[in-house]
């Protein structure tokens, strides 16, 4: 894209890079493709030229309610691209490197040092609010004025991103970035939930409520551990069929079947020992707890409106049932993403089965298709 010098004064010429991006102006507003300007990256930042970005339900949730990330602004947090320039202090990547983009973190707090950056003590303000940045952080501008960006340390619904170095994972030069883009959030969330938290074994009775991108990734991840029962639950027949192809042993169509009765039938009346609720629906979360076995665990993920309660029948807790939340699959992105890249290259992770590609101009159509179950994982290509 065009590069225009802003000033020739000083030892280093300052450049502004221009490119298109998808702006959301307010709660419920559609994506609008606009021309943006991108400052030089600041300390610890990298200017990335995007090749593709996955569209996630988290993006749509913020678009719908206009919070907690401030609008107007640029969303997108499953970016994949090529490093253009690096800011002061960046050492892990260099211009020309191909990278996948995930969440950011401080790197210094106890959870980060312990290998759990998804529980960074500043995770929420860094990723969801986008307001933890250095004094020299590069701005994303609309008409010369800064607009809200840095969502998940990247704001990747644009041809360029000023991203945190800690949000980047360098990958091999032969990697297909468009295929791999969803690894940055949806896939590591689902796989990480199974591998890092629930850890199903051969005796477990597992259910996944909601088999969109996160749920399908969880099905695939759980299937590699070969639990005794692996149940996919959804209202979209095509997604249930894909879940069976990815390793589910049974599928329940929640639009036409009694979910609780079917779970009881498939588990011999015991209930699930492990359940993963991806729906962000309090009713579904409560139902998952009701269908859990004595001593069973229900793990929940998904973005509900702030203040949304999850009703739990307390007697079940006395039977050893556990309810727990998870963020980003408790993943350490450089480790899990690289492992998944290798599994995809070996033909063991069929990411292509979940995807449909859209040009940037059709991002609003991609969002509508995701809402209506037409596609599981839209990928915006540049």
Is the confidence at residue 14, as pLDDT, over 70? Answer: no
Across 10-19, 70-79, 177-186, 233-242, least confident range: 10-19
pLDDT band at 346 (very low <50, low <70, confident <90, very high): very high
Is the confidence at residue 99, as pLDDT, over 80? Answer: yes
What are the structural domain ranges in the chain?
Answer: 3-184+350-381, 188-327
Q: Which residue has the higher pLDDT, 1 or 346?
A: 346
Contacts of 67 (CB under 8 A, 6+ apart): 27, 306
pLDDT band at 16 (very low <50, low <70, confident <90, very high): confident
**378 neighbors 55 (Cβ within 8 angstroms):** yes
pTM of the model: 0.94
pLDDT band at 8 (very low <50, low <70, confident <90, very high): very low
Whole-number pLDDT of residue 28 = 95
pLDDT band at 302 (very low <50, low <70, confident <90, very high): confident
* Residues composing the chain: 382
Distance CA 132, CA 104 (A): 10
Q: Pick 188-327's CATH classification: 3.40.50.300, 3.40.50.720, 3.40.50.150, 3.90.1150.10.
A: 3.40.50.720
Distance CA 48, CA 84 (A): 5
What architecture does CATH give domain 3-184+350-381? Alpha-Beta Complex (3.90)
Residue in this structure with the two tokens 């629930």, named with its chain if needed: 198
Q: How far is CA 279 from CA 57, 204, 207, 301, in A?
A: 10, 22, 13, 7
Is the confidence at residue 198, as pLDDT, over 60? Answer: yes
- The secondary structure of the chain, three-state, reads CCEEEEECCCCCCEEEEEEEEEEECCCCCCEEEEEEEECCCCCCEEEEEEEEEECCHHHHHHHHHCCCCCCCEECCCCEEEEEEEECCCCCCCCCCCEEEECCCCCCCCHHHHCCCHHHCCCHHHHHHHCCCCCCCCCCEEECCEECECCHHHCCCCECEEEEEHHHEEEECCCCCHHHHHHHHCHHHHHHHHHHHHHCCCCCCEEEEECCCHHHHHHHHHHHCCCCCEEEEEECCHHHHHHHHHCCCCEEEECCCCCHHHHHHHHCCCCCEEEEEECCCCHHHHHHHHHCEEEEEEEEECCCCCCCCCCCCCHHHHHCCCEEEECCHHHCCHHHHHHHHHHHHHCCCCCHHHHEEEEEHHHHHHHHHHHHCCCCCEEEEEC
Distance CA 211, CA 218 (A): 8
pLDDT band at 372 (very low <50, low <70, confident <90, very high): confident
Distance CA 7, CA 19 (A): 19
Whole-number pLDDT of residue 11 = 38
Distance CA 150, CA 166 (A): 13
The distance from CA 341 to its chain's CA centroid, rounded to whole angstroms, is 16
The distance from CA 47 to its chain's CA centroid, rounded to whole angstroms, is 21
């Amino acid at each position: 894209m065009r590069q225009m010098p802003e000033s020739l004064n000083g030892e280093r010429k300052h450049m502004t890079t221009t490119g298109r991006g998808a702006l959301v102006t307010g709660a419920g507003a559609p994506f609008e493709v606009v021309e943006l300007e991108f400052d030089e990256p600041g300390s610890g930042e990298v200017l990335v030229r995007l090749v593709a970005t996955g569209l996630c339900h988290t993006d749509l949730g913020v678009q719908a309610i206009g919070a907690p990330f401030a609008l107007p602004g640029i969303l997108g947090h499953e970016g994949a691209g090529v490093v253009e320039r690096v800011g002061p202090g960046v050492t892990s990547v260099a211009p020309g490197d191909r990278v996948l983009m995930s969440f950011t973190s401080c790197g210094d707090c106890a959870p980060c040092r312990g290998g759990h950056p998804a529980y960074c003590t500043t995770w929420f303000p860094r990723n969801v609010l986008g307001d933890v940045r250095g004094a020299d952080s590069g701005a994303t501008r609309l008409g010369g004025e800064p607009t809200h960006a840095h969502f998940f340390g990247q704001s990747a619904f644009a041809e360029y991103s000023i991203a945190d170095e800690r949000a980047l994972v360098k990958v091999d030069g032969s990697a297909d970035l468009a295929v791999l883009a969803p690894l940055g959030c949806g896939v590591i969330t689902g796989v990480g939930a199974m591998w890092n938290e629930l850890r199903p074994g051969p005796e477990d009775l597992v259910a996944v409520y909601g088999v969109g991108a996160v749920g399908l990734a969880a099905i695939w991840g759980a299937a590699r551990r070969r639990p005794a029962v692996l149940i996919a639950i959804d209202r979209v027949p095509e997604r249930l069929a894909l879940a069976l192809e990815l390793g589910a042993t049974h599928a329940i169509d929640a639009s036409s079947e009694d979910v609780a009765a079917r779970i009881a039938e498939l588990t011999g009346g015991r209930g699930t020992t492990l359940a993963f609720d991806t729906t962000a629906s309090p009713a579904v979360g409560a139902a998952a707890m009701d269908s859990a076995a004595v001593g069973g665990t229900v793990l929940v993920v998904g973005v509900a409106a702030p203040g949304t309660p999850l009703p739990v029948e307390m007697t079940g807790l006395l039977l050893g049932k556990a309810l727990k939340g998870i963020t980003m699959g408790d993943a350490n992105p450089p480790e899990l993403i690289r492992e998944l890249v290798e599994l995809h290259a070996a033909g063991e992770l069929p990411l292509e089965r979940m995807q449909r590609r859209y040009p940037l101009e059709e991002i609003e159509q991609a969002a509508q298709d995701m809402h209506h179950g037409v596609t599981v994982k839209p990928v915006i290509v540049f």
